[in-house]
Structure 1
Amino acid sequence: MRQLRIRVLGGIFAVAGVLAWAVAGLWDAFGSLPGVPFAAPVVLAAIAAVLAATALSLRSRLKAQRERQPGAKGVDPMVAARAVVFGQASALVAAPVAGMYGGVGVFLLTNGLDGGSRGDQALYAGLAVLAGLAVVAAGLLLERVCKLPEDEDDEGGPGTAPA
């Protein structure tokens, strides 16, 4: 499994943001733009909290296991692999979702905030972007925590996956 790159996630975020901005403009021209739900930043923040808690828990267990502390509870390799998949999948989904809310938020801010409705929608979109970026950061942290140490003297030898 390849490690996620921040540039790729940033590109996904940017493309989703530009597309969402364009679609929001088109949608608003032909009707009323759907609102940004209040639950969007709440759900994304909850996912970020779960990812961060998992990463911190696994990091402390792996550290205790490496230091051979008495009574240390080890980490099953399948649990670590599932955690990596969970972190990567969350980051790969949160990047375009945050970009989408960012594009909608930029559209709302650039086309005037008429009263409280659009102002609230822009605020929810901004909070959803921040929570989405927190999900990406927590997913990357979880991926880094579960990364196997590099074997420097066996680099490129038999049994290594091609890059």
Structure 2
Amino acid sequence: MNQLRIGTLAGLFAAAFGLCWAGAGLWDSMDNTLPAVPLLAPVVLALIAAVLLGTALSLRARLRAQRERRPDARPVDRMSAARAVVFGQASALVSALVAGAYGGFGLFLLLERMEVPNRRDQALYAGLAVAAGVAVVAAALYLERVCRLPEGDEDDPTGPMGSRA
């Protein structure tokens, strides 16, 4: 499994940011009403970040207990850890796109439409969505780091991720 690259995530963020900023400007220039930023956007992203962080902390504690050979240590199933990492990677990629889109839209609102009181709230929601998207990316990178195998342990079936499958 390949690791996430910060450059890939930053590129997705920048592309979505630019496209959404330009699209909002084009949409507004045709005298169309701009869509509203949903209040639940940052909430959902923050919940995903919390789930990823909770999974990472749980796996980290279980792996530490295994390394210290505690008698109550539960083994970590390799497939479960791999699924968690894949979920984290997918969440990070989508969150980079979503955060970029909300960032571009929020910047457009800040620069062009700050005189409308409702749009100030929309810009705030967009900013919170960007912050929550960054939190998802950070939690996914941490989860990936927690589940990374040490060098040379790819073929060891009794390695740090638990017993034989």
When the two structures are superposed, what TM-score results if normalisation uses the length of structure 2?
0.89
Q: Which 4+ runs in 1 deviate beyond 6 A?
A: none
Deviations 1:3-61 (A, max 9, x none): 00111101110111000000011111220110100000000001100000000000100
Matches within 5 A, 1:109-124: 109-124=110-125
Runs of 5+ consecutive residues of structure 2 not aligned to the other structure:
154-165
CA distance in 2, matches of 1:97, 1:115: 24
**Greater mean deviation of Cα atoms: 65-74 or 51-60:** 65-74
What is aligned with 1:18? 18
CA distance in 2, matches of 1:24, 1:36: 12
1: CA distance, partners of 2:77 / 2:111: 50
Listed as ranges, the matches of 1:84-163 within 5 Å are: 84-151=85-152
Which residue in 1 is equivalent to 2:6?
6
Q: CA deviation at 1:70?
A: 1.2
Which position in structure 1 is the counterpart of 2:39?
A: 38
Q: Note the C-alpha offset of 1:115.
A: 3.0
The 5-angstrom pairing of residues 5-84 of structure 1 reads: 5-30=5-30, 31-84=32-85
Partners of 1:116 and 1:46 in 2: CA distance: 28
List per-residue Cα deviations over 1:103-160 (Å, max 9, x = no partner).
00010011031232000000000000000000011111111111111129xxxxxxxx
The residue identity in structure 2 corresponding to 1:90 is: S
* Number of positions where the alignment pairs a residue of Structure 1 with one of Structure 2: 152
Q: What is the one-letter code of the residue matched to 2:94? A: V
Q: Distance in 1 between matches of 2:36 and 2:152?
A: 51
Q: Match for residue 159 of structure 2? A: none
Aligned to 1:157: none
CA RMSD of aligned residues (A): 1.1
Percent of residue pairs bearing the same amino acid type: 68
